[in-house]
């Protein structure tokens, strides 16, 4: 699909979504006060909300290979995945060695290839004419510019005592595998651990573990270790929560950075999609100075601290830009006319008001608190897409159902919901209708003015009701009776 159609599809799909879809919500016979919904109904609502093809593109970018395949990757093997072979071609081991002369020994070319091999989308193929080799090389150089800032030596070229080889600062990436001042066995970065909230229910901290920065992107905090672990180990968050040191001592030290590179943090796009132009800036982003180029990748990583006019001369963004410009010149990465290396002219994403924008998509689910008069208690029994982190991702299969059932207790006072393959059959009335009016059904929703037959009498609803026996009054008023 040509790139220009993504935005057109996006806007059309957002505008075409109706107010809400029909769902058959019934009382749960197994749970007092709870409800059951057919899985088909829930799936239909989810598909309606993620109709834009961008959701499929984002999900595809986060697909992973089995670790058994990844562990078998070695330089030069004919069995290496296609994207790994591309990396070996455009960034061979000699280039890795050139940029890692100061690097910690935990970072190796083999681990670099394995980290990339885990994610088919990194340096993957394109079927629409885009140059995959060119995008691959630019992606790697972009990653190294950020590595040089995040984990670099930052030693001046003329500082012979500390830099006897006279290496450029952009050649000094990956010096640190653990955050400076921290070592294994130390507790730290445990803020929020043990609290009774959804983050701890989904990603519980392990006793005696510290979640300080590790790896090329300095992964930090339990919720990031948990989310990354799920991506690496088939949805199992406990692997890295129980052993976070793996992020320093295995190919995960580079895979964590690739994972970040591919993951959109809506409304921020994935860095890959800024580089390969799968992402199309919204009108509000364009008005906020956010477009293509290395500068937007800074905004994605750390825009609140490094972007905007007030940060124009700040050390971190100035360094990143210097490293990018040195690397891109050395590797002859062309800069297109609409690309900017800087982000001082951009509004940081955290300060950008995107409320109401119809050409921006979000990637997390949260409970929909709108009132629905035709549903039990007025609850929506749906989740909606939001622009902040929640327990449920729109890019992870099964997370929408988890959101509707409130698996991690993130929606306070949400009704108990159970999703079933087939709803229980409706109750068949045992007595004839009165005056031709159908018999009352306990599972059916009635609104003000609806009439029902029940036990030889005719009743009319005063307001919304479901499951309330008409003979007991409450929301029902007696209209007439055949009883003597």
Partner residues linked to 367 by β-bridges: 383
pLDDT of amino acid 338 = 96
DSSP secondary structure letter of residue 104: -
Do 149 and 174 meet the contact criterion of CB atoms below 8 Å apart?
Answer: no
| 353 and 372 within one domain | no
At 72, the pLDDT band (50, 70, 90 cuts) reads: very high
For residue 8, pLDDT beyond 90: no
| 365 and 309 within one domain | no
For 20, residues 6+ apart whose C-beta sits below 8 A from its C-beta are 372, 380, 382
Residue 229 included in any domain = no
Q: Which three-class secondary structure state does DSSP give residue 180?
A: coil
Distance (Å, rounded) from C-alpha 84 to C-alpha 123?
8
Give me the number of domains the chain comprises.
3
| 356 and 289 within one domain | yes
Find the domain containing 17 and state its range: 4-52+361-420
| 412 and 439 within one domain | no
At 18, the pLDDT band (50, 70, 90 cuts) reads: very low
377-411 pLDDT tens trace: 889 999 999 988 899 999 999 999 999 999 999 99
Residue 306 included in any domain = yes
pLDDT of amino acid 12 = 33
At 17, the pLDDT band (50, 70, 90 cuts) reads: very low
Residues tagged active-site: 150
- Domain stop point among 323, 338, 360: 360
Strands 465-466 and 476-481: what pairing?
unpaired
Distance (Å, rounded) from C-alpha 360 to C-alpha 280?
10
DSSP secondary structure letter of residue 421: S
- Domain stop point among 360, 385, 409: 360
Assigned token pair, 82: 């296609």
Q: Please tell me the pTM assigned to this model.
A: 0.83
| 469 and 454 within one domain | yes
| 317 and 343 within one domain | yes
| 342 and 298 within one domain | yes
pLDDT of amino acid 374 = 85
**DSSP per position, 289-334:** T--BSHHHHHHHHHHHHH-SGGGTT-HHHHHHHHHHHHHHHHTT--
For 99, residues 6+ apart whose C-beta sits below 8 A from its C-beta are 144, 170, 171, 173
Residue 62 included in any domain = no
217-275 pLDDT tens trace: 999 999 999 999 999 999 999 999 999 999 999 999 999 999 999 999 888 999 999 99
Residue 235 included in any domain = no
Per-residue pLDDT, averaged over 17-40, amounts to 81
Residue 466 included in any domain = yes
Give the CATH number for residue 472: 2.10.10.20
Tell me what the pLDDT averaged over the chain comes to: 90
| 339 and 296 within one domain | yes
Residue 264 included in any domain = no
Percent of the chain scored above 70 by pLDDT? 93
At 427, the pLDDT band (50, 70, 90 cuts) reads: low
Q: Which of 190, 83, 200 is nearest to 135 (CA)?
A: 83
Token pair 């109706």 in the structure block, residue:
18
Percent of the chain scored above 90 by pLDDT? 75
DSSP secondary structure letter of residue 206: P
pLDDT of amino acid 19 = 54
Residue 301 included in any domain = yes
Q: Where are the alpha helices (DSSP H) in 23-177?
A: 39-49, 53-61, 67-71, 82-90, 93-99, 109-117, 132-151
Residue 217 included in any domain = no
362-383 pLDDT tens trace: 999 999 999 998 888 889 999 9
pLDDT of amino acid 14 = 38
For residue 16, pLDDT beyond 70: no
pLDDT of amino acid 317 = 97
Per-residue pLDDT, averaged over 165-189, amounts to 94
């Amino acid at each position: 699909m040509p790139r220009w159609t993504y935005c057109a599809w996006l806007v059309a799909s957002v505008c075409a979504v109706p107010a809400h879809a029909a769902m058959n919500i019934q009382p749960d016979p197994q749970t007092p006060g709870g409800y059951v919904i057919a899985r088909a109904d829930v799936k239909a609502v989810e598909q309606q909300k993620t109709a834009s093809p961008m959701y499929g593109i984002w999900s595809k970018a986060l697909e992973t290979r089995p670790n058994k395949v990844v562990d078998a990757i070695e330089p030069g093997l004919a069995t290496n995945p296609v994207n790994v072979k591309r990396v070996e071609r455009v960034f061979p081991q000699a280039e890795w060695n050139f940029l890692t002369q100061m690097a910690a020994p935990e970072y190796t070319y083999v681990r670099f290839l394995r980290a990339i091999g885990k994610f088919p989308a990194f340096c993957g193929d394109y079927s629409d004419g885009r140059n995959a080799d060119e995008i691959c090389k630019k992606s790697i150089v972009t990653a190294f510019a950020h590595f040089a800032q995040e984990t670099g030596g930052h030693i001046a070229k003329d500082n012979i005592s500390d830099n006897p080889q006279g290496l450029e600062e952009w050649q000094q990436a990956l010096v640190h595998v653990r955050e400076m001042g921290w070592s294994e066995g130390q507790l730290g970065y445990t803020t929020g651990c043990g609290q009774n909230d959804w983050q701890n229910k989904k990603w519980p901290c392990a006793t005696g573990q510290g979640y300080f920065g590790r790896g090329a992107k300095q992964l930090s905090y339990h919720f990031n270790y948990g989310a990354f672990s799920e991506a690496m180990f088939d949805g199992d968050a406990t692997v890295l929560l129980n052993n976070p040191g793996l992020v320093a001592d295995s190919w995960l030290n580079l895979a964590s950075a690739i994972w970040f590179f591919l993951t959109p943090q809506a409304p921020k796009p994935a860095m890959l999609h800024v580089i390969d132009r799968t992402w199309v800036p919204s009108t509000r982003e364009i008005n906020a100075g956010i477009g293509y180029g290395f500068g937007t990748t800074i905004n994605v990583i750390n825009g609140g601290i490094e972007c905007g006019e007030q940060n124009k001369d700040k050390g971190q963004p100035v360094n990143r830009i210097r490293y990018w410009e040195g690397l891109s010149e050395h590797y002859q990465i062309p800069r297109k006319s609409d690309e900017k290396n800087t982000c001082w002219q951009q509004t940081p994403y955290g300060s950008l008001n995107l409320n109401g924008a119809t050409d921006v998509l979000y990637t997390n689910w949260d409970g929909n608190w709108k009132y629905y008069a035709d549903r039990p208690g007025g609850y929506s029994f749906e989740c909606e897409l939001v622009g902040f982190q929640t327990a449920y991702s729109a890019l992870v299969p099964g997370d929408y159902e988890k959101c509707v059932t409130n698996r991690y207790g993130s929606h306070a006072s949400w009704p108990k919901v159970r999703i079933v393959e087939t709803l229980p059959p409706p109750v068949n009335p045992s007595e004839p209708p009165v005056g031709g009016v159908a018999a009352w059904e306990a599972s059916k929703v009635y609104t003000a003015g609806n009439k029902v037959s029940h036990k030889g009498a005719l009743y009319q609803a005063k307001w919304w009701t479901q499951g309330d026996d008409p003979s007991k009054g409450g929301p029902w008023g007696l209209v007439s009776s055949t009883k003597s």
